[in-house]
């Protein structure tokens, strides 16, 4: 899960990371009001979207009076920002963060990530902050410093000081920067983050150290025990299909193809996508309905998959271990009837209660195409797709449809 910069700054400030005074605002008038409240003579207005690279895309504005604050806020709100990370469709700016602008002397980079190789939290730092870390890593990898944290003892002050000296900070700045790095580490650990990035960690012209930008990502699987983090989720920043899926506990990732997939088990879902490609088509999604899928969950899965207008065929692939094929079959039949599904459905069931599952599909009177194996299912799904896209008599029927049972019902 991603959160906004202003949310990350608030969390980090609770762990002692120094940040400028700031406020989130939703209208230009609020921006002016907050600028007055913050005080000073210069402010930064920043678009709050789940993306980096906002500075280069015009999403960070420095303002020198209230008139400029109002104008910058009015200009940014409702604008779609296209950054290096958003893709060409960009992201809509719905809220802004306004904070006291500080005169910057140096921009440093601090990042905390989980290093899967060493199975440790790794703190990365470079004096060449402000830029994208990927560019620094590619162009000047020798400028990156790395510290690996021993989980039994956590990050030690000497490790943070080592990084500070490596960053060229002076004796007056090291205590503040050490506090910022150790605070970022504790926030990472205590909030089940998977990434914390402070870029830039600025040294100001008057020698202070401040986090001017902050980004945090969290482990979705730990959100159940971090309710105060979970409530920071902003569904409007997510793929609407994926947001809807998470409400039903379905693991869904939207893709660009035409064959919708309803599968149980992440591994089987991956294999299903592979074999669709092998058979000559593209999957529309990854979807793992999980074990113990009730008819309601299957119905939700169908609604989700079919909400994508690109989907021309649905492939249901269930290997029932924890699941039961008869439940899935009931779900498929119920969803087909209730939702008046008109796209061809190919179903491959295997495992617990498979005979019962097949009988339910066959007796339903619906045009559900059954398949014996994964390869068979993919082939039939792609054939059905080609019948539609290349013309001919596609099995697109209105309910109730004639029974077209392909494959042996054993
Ligand atoms: P990003 O482009 O999405 O990573 O957004 P940042 O928050 O990192 O802002 C981009 C750049 O704007 C920073 O690298 C700074 O150079 C500049 N910036 C951000 N906040 C301030 C500030 O308070 N004062 C000044 N002078 N510049 C700032
Ligand atoms: Mn940044």
Please tell me the predicted confidence (pLDDT) of residue 268: 94
Identify whether the C-beta of residue 309 lies closer than 8 Å to the C-beta of residue 409.
no
pLDDT, tens digit, 9 for 90 and up, residues 82-107:
999 888 889 999 999 999 999 999 99
Please tell me the predicted confidence (pLDDT) of residue 120: 97
CA contacts within 13 A on the Cβ side of 8: 26
Q: pLDDT band for position 392 (50/70/90)?
A: low
Better-scored residue on pLDDT, 375 or 138: 375
Please tell me the predicted confidence (pLDDT) of residue 405: 41
Q: pLDDT band for position 402 (50/70/90)?
A: very low
**Which atom of ligand 1 has the smallest separation from the CA of 20?**
23
Please state, rounded to an integer, the average pLDDT across all residues of the chain.
90
* Å from CA of 221 to ligand 2 middle: 27
Q: Is the pLDDT of residue 326 over 50?
A: yes
Is 44 near ligand 1, meaning CB less than 6 Å away? yes
Beta-carbon contacts of residue 282 (< 8 Å; ≥ 6 apart):
255, 256, 257, 258, 259, 276
CA 225 to chain centre: 19
Lowest mean pLDDT among 229-233, 311-315, 404-408: 404-408
Lowest mean pLDDT among 169-173, 328-332, 386-390, 398-402: 398-402
Length of the chain, in residues: 410
Average pLDDT over residues 341-362: 92
pTM of the model: 0.75
Please tell me the predicted confidence (pLDDT) of residue 30: 97
pLDDT, tens digit, 9 for 90 and up, residues 61-85:
999 999 999 999 999 999 999 999 8
Q: pLDDT band for position 410 (50/70/90)?
A: very low
* Å from CA of 255 to ligand 2 middle: 29
Residue 336 tokens read as 């087909």
Q: Mutation test of ligand 1: which of 55, 63, 135, 203 has the most ligand atoms closer than 8 Å to its C-beta?
A: 55
Q: Mutation test of ligand 1: which of 60, 205, 208 has the most ligand atoms closer than 8 Å to its C-beta?
A: 60
Lowest mean pLDDT among 142-156, 317-331, 383-397: 383-397
pLDDT, tens digit, 9 for 90 and up, residues 114-170:
999 999 999 999 999 887 778 888 888 888 999 999 999 999 999 999 999 999 999
Please tell me the predicted confidence (pLDDT) of residue 404: 41
Question: Residue 308 in 3-state DSSP?
Answer: coil
Please tell me the predicted confidence (pLDDT) of residue 409: 37
Please tell me the predicted confidence (pLDDT) of residue 244: 81
Q: Is the pLDDT of residue 396 over 60?
A: no
DSSP-derived secondary structure for 67-114:
HHHHHHHHHHTTPEE--TTT-TT-EE---EEEEE---EEEEEEEEEEE
Kindly tell me the sign of the dihedral angle through the C-alpha atoms of 238, 244, 248, 250.
negative
Give, using CA atoms, the residue closest to atom 10 of ligand 1: 55
* Å from CA of 80 to ligand 2 middle: 18
Taking the C-alpha atoms of residue 303 and residue 299, their distance in angstroms, rounded to an integer, is 6
pLDDT, tens digit, 9 for 90 and up, residues 185-233:
999 999 999 999 999 999 999 999 999 999 999 999 999 999 999 999 9
Q: pLDDT band for position 400 (50/70/90)?
A: very low
Is 102 near ligand 1, meaning CB less than 6 Å away? yes
Q: Active-site residue numbers?
A: 109, 197
Give, using CA atoms, the residue closest to atom 7 of ligand 1: 213
């Amino acid at each position: 899960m991603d959160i906004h910069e202003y949310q990350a700054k608030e969390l980090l400030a609770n762990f002692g990371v120094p940040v400028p005074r700031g406020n989130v605002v939703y209208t230009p008038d609020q921006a002016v009001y907050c600028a007055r409240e913050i005080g000073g003579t210069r402010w930064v207005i920043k678009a709050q979207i789940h993306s980096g690279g906002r500075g280069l895309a015009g999403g960070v504005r420095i303002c020198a009076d209230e008139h400029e604050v109002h104008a910058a806020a009015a200009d940014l709100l409702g604008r779609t920002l296209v950054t290096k990370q958003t893709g060409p469709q960009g992201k809509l700016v719905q809220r802004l963060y306004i904070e006291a602008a500080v005169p910057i002397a140096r921009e440093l980079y601090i990042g905390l990530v989980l290093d899967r190789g060493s199975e440790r939290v790794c703190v990365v730092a470079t004096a060449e902050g402000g830029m994208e870390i990927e560019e620094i890593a590619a162009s000047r990898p020798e400028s990156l410093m790395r510290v690996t944290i021993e989980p039994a003892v956590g990050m030690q002050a000497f490790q943070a000081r080592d990084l500070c000296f490596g960053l060229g900070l002076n004796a007056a700045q090291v205590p503040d920067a050490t506090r910022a790095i150790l605070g970022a580490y504790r926030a990472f650990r205590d909030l089940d983050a998977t990434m914390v990035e402070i870029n830039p960690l600025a040294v100001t012209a008057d020698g202070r150290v401040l986090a001017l930008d902050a980004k945090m990502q969290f482990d979705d699987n730990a959100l159940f025990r971090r309710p105060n983090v979970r409530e920071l989720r902003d569904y409007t920043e997510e793929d609407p299909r994926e947001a809807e899926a998470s409400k039903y506990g379905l693991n869904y990732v939207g893709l660009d193809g035409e064959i919708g997939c309803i599968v149980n088990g992440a591994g089987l879902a991956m294999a299903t996508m592979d074999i669709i490609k092998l058979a000559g088509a593209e999957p529309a999604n990854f979807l793992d309905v999980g074990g113990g899928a009730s008819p309601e969950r299957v119905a939700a899965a169908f609604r989700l998959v079919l909400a994508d207008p690109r989907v021309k065929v649905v492939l249901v692939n269930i290997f029932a271990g924890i699941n039961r094929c008869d439940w899935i079959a009931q779900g498929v039949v119920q969803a087909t009837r209730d939702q008046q599904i008109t796209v061809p459905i190919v179903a491959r069931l295997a495992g617990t209660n498979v005979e019962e599952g097949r009988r339910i599909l066959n007796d339903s009177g619906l045009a559900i195409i059954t398949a014996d194996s994964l390869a068979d299912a993919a082939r039939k799904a792609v054939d059905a797709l080609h019948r539609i896209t290349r013309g001919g008599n596609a099995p697109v029927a209105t309910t109730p449809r004639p029974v077209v049972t392909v494959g042996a019902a054993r």
